[in-house]
Chain A
Amino acid sequence: MSLQRVWAWWIVALICYIPANTYPMLSTRMLMSTDEGTIVGGALELAQHGDYAVAIIIIVASVFIPIGKFMAVAALALGVQHGSRMSALRRQQLYEVVEYIGRWSMIDVFVVAILSSLVQLGALASIKPGTASLFFALSVIFTMLSAQSFDSRMIWDKSPDPTPEPAKAPA
């Protein structure tokens, strides 16, 4: 039951992630030219200008981390359904990382919001949010819901570790 909800949110999040990458994230208008860039397109452009550090941050934050999250949640769910070679503790730690990092993907959406409210310099330059920002936000929210629906207790249900002796661990 819990896993069905995980997979349902997971699939919706994955569907939203596709338009998030194909539609433009930002449309920048400078003097005469208008420039609409997707997430990956914008990062590649930065790399061509020599801004490798920023380009790598953008690629990691909006491509590697979301895809990594999809794979991690899928791995956790499959691990519960079919058993896993990873130890229960490892999977618990993986789940905690996914839960922690999930919220930080919203940073992309916030940057779009900040840029488009800040860069309003009349005819000189202006930035408008693109359709992709909506789908990206939805994708992040649905991935968070997917991770939250996952009950981490299921990792331990079939665990061979016996319930440990009560012990007070040092701080």
Chain B
Amino acid sequence: MTDLSSLIACPRCDAVYSVEEPAVGERAVCARCHTVLIAPRKRAGKQIIAIALAIVVLVIAATIFPFLSIRAAGVSHKSSILDAALAFSDSPLLVVLSLTVAAVIVFFPVLRAMLVIYVLTPLVFDRPPYPGAVRAFRLSEALRPWSMAEIFAIGCAVALVKVADLAQVAFGPAFWMFAALVVLMVIQDSFMCRYSVWKSLER
């Protein structure tokens, strides 16, 4: 009977390999479907926690500050994320939509970052994981496609182009925070080696 912990199954195509951990900076890739299986990085845990903290701060700040301001014929108007999420709230049918928008651009990204902090903090300090860490990490992975802050940032740019000939439009501070978020989220995802996290959680 082979020890199960020495095997790894590709999450995409189910090919089974016996684990041979790559050195730091190297990657183990599935030979059949080219999915990255293991990609350990030095001090990735601390970097990911730092980025997750930055994401929490940025999303909360970006919610309050205006992200676009408009001016036409002397009338001006500023809009924050809260306004955008509440834009749908005047008819009951669209309230559902406004809640969804608020969830995917503010609530899910913050929740995911906090779950990551909760799971990784004890691992970084070589302590046993906090209770429920396995479930927290699974939830954070499930939320990944649903946290859409970076898509919202691109949406701002598109909206700007659309009203540019109607009125004068300018980016507010929150837009630049969202632009930073796009970069931070990509970096966080590329630093995260799921195999290493699951392995430390099993210890």
Residues of A contacting B93 with CB < 8 Å?
131, 134
The count of residues in chain A whose C-beta lies closer than 8 Å to any C-beta of chain B is 50
CB neighbors of A among B18-55 (8 A):
18, 20, 22, 25-29, 31-34
Instruction: Say whether A137 faces chain B, with CB atoms less than 8 Å apart.
Output: yes
Asked if B94 CB lies within 8 Å of chain A CBs, one says yes
The A interface, classified by DSSP as helix, strand, loop or mixed, is helix
Tell me the bound Cα distance from A141 to B67 in angstroms: 25
- Total interface residues in chain B, CB < 8 Å: 58
A134 to B, closest residue via Cβ: B97
Report whether B75 and A129 are in contact in the complex, using a CB–CB cutoff of 8 Å.
Answer: no
A107 within 8 A of B: yes
Q: Provided the pairs A111-B162, A137-B97 are in contact, do residues A153 and B13 lie with their beta carbons within 8 angstroms?
A: yes
Q: Is A52 an interface residue (CB 8 A)?
A: no
> Would you call B145 an interface residue if the criterion is a C-beta within 8 Å of the partner chain's C-beta atoms?
yes
Task: Name B153's closest neighbour in chain A (CB-CB).
Answer: A110
**CB-CB < 8 A to B20: which residues of A?**
166, 168
Q: Which of A63-71, A75-83, A117-125 contacts B (4 or more CB under 8 A)?
A: A117-125
Q: Kindly list chain B residues whose C-beta atoms are within 8 Å of the C-beta of A114.
A: 67-68, 79, 84, 87, 155-156, 159
Residue pair B84, A92 in contact (C-beta under 8 Å): no
Q: What's the nearest-Cβ distance from chain B to residue A54, in Å? A: 6
The stretch of B98-106, B131-139, B195-203 in contact with A is B98-106
19 pairs, A vs B, C-beta closer than 8 Å: A54-B161, A89-B32, A92-B33, A102-B145, A107-B158, A110-B105, A110-B151, A110-B155, A117-B87, A118-B169, A121-B72, A124-B72, A125-B72, A129-B88, A133-B97, A156-B13, A156-B15, A166-B31, A169-B27
